[in-house]
Amino acid sequence: MKKIFGKLSELYKKLLKESLRSARAFPSLAARPGAVAVWLIRSHVAQLILLLTLLLMPTIIPAASDKLMEAIYRPVTNKVLGVLPVRQKNPKLELRKEQARILLWYGSGFVVFMAFWLSIPGALKRSDAIASNIEGEADGLVKTKPLDSVILYRKALRFATSSSVRESIFLKTEKLDKLLVDVGTGDRTVVMNSPPPDREPSERYEVREEVGRGAMGVVLKARDTLLERTVAIKELPPHIAKDKELLGRFRREATLLAKLNHPGIVQIYDFAEFDSNAWIIMEFVEGEELEAVLARRGKLSESELLNLSSRIAEALLYAHAKGILHRDLKPSNILISESGIPKIADFGVARLTISAGETKPGTILGSPIYMSPEQAAGRSADGRSDIYSLGAIMYRAATGAPLFEGSAIEVIAKVLNKEPVPLRELSPDISEEMSALIMSMLSKDPAARPKDVERKLNSLTKTIN
């Protein structure tokens, strides 16, 4: 008997110890939705106990309990009139049967609860392992698809419960955040170690000066000596120019983009190659970026905004009709000529950059603030994504404020999950019709965005004028 009590005492102490361990781990579990899902789905022993309880408690166990009670509380013999012995059911039997069933239900419920409760520490380990696997997947995409990495890191944080795993993920998101733009101060892109050009594309083009850096490398201002005109030249990064397969993709894409002939789109003229160097020659626009205009003026009047956006929409829809998307439309990609005509630059640059297959030195990562939700989520994009980007530009031009503010990672989360502040709350002087159009262009659902943006803008222009 002492041995039995000793074993029971040891079991009780062990259960108490494990229960306290689970109690300490529970707050970490409750704080991570992914970990809760792992706990409920992967606690197989507890699930088995629950299944057996649900199967046996309504059927076999009550019958066995009744048999046991009948064996314990046997019929009693009473004498009728003090003479005749009569066997009768034990008066305590039914009460004891009911009490036994209640105890069995409570007991089985407690066993199921304890089975799940004691599985919490193991669930945390499994959840951290899942977080580490997702983290590893995100690590592999940092160079090729940084925005996808951000999304995966955020997903990993839903599962990470231990401080070491969470800290590892936080450090990586912080590092990635530094590579992406901080959109709280604008939408300027970040250039990473793109080398300066060391030779001219050909004798035909005389390079005058470096005027900037773009998504495909250095941007040069040059003179076309044959046609006697000023052109812009983009030198492709060495990792593309020296790779025959990648260079072939760029050449084909440039040929496709050169077919775009519209006054609202920067024209591509030529594609030059020489001695492991490659250049795209295009129209040079004397003027300034829309980004610079907005930074200087804050916001535009409604009539200015209508004139600007209707021209941009016309150019976008022209390209869409040719089967070409922009994919990276933002104020710094819209050039305002000296005559006030907007021209979309870097048309197809996102597609060209994606064709490279990886982010190398010389590649820039665009701001996510003008990116559609489907692009931010890593899904395929179509013309409606460009409409969203135009809506985001119009929102900023109308209000003087970006759709969302914060670090790149914070903005991505808001683009995916948060609605922007209603436009007229920030700029009540904008008409209700204009505000409604812009807000519809910013719908999270691509199908809800207007298909006839150009017509609606032209109609509004006539109304305003």
Catalytically active residues are 328
Return the SS3 of 332: helix
Q: What is the helix (H) or strand (E) element at residue 420, kind and residue range? A: none
Q: What's the rounded Cα separation, in Å, for the pair 121 and 255?
A: 59
- Asked whether 186 and 298 are in contact (CB, 8 A), the reply is no
- Asked whether 373 and 416 are in contact (CB, 8 A), the reply is yes
- Asked whether 158 and 36 are in contact (CB, 8 A), the reply is no
Q: What's the rounded Cα separation, in Å, for the pair 452 and 460?
A: 12
Q: What's the rounded Cα separation, in Å, for the pair 69 and 59?
A: 16
- Asked whether 312 and 355 are in contact (CB, 8 A), the reply is no
Q: Residue 17's beta-bridge partner residues?
A: none
Report which of 264, 261, 256, 296 is spatially closest to residue 280, judged by C-alpha positions.
Answer: 256
Query: Given phi > 0 = left and psi -120 to 50 = alpha, else beta, which region is 323?
Result: left
Burial class from Cβ neighbours inside 10 Å (0-12, 13-18, 19+) for residue 52 reads middle
Q: What is the 3-state secondary structure (H, E, C) of 158-188?
A: HHCCCHHHHHHHHHHHHHHHHHCCCHHHCCC
Q: What is the CA radius of gyration of the chain?
A: 35
- Asked whether 245 and 253 are in contact (CB, 8 A), the reply is no
Determine the angle formed by the axes of helices 93-118 and 60-72, rounding to 10 degrees.
Answer: 130
- Asked whether 415 and 376 are in contact (CB, 8 A), the reply is yes
- Asked whether 191 and 213 are in contact (CB, 8 A), the reply is yes
Q: What's the rounded Cα separation, in Å, for the pair 327 and 247?
A: 21
Q: What's the rounded Cα separation, in Å, for the pair 412 and 155?
A: 13
Q: What's the rounded Cα separation, in Å, for the pair 369 and 405?
A: 8
Q: What's the rounded Cα separation, in Å, for the pair 403 and 387?
A: 15
The structure tokens listed for 209 are: 């000066």
Report which of 241, 249, 213 is spatially closest to residue 351, judged by C-alpha positions.
Answer: 249
Place of tokens 């009744």: 66
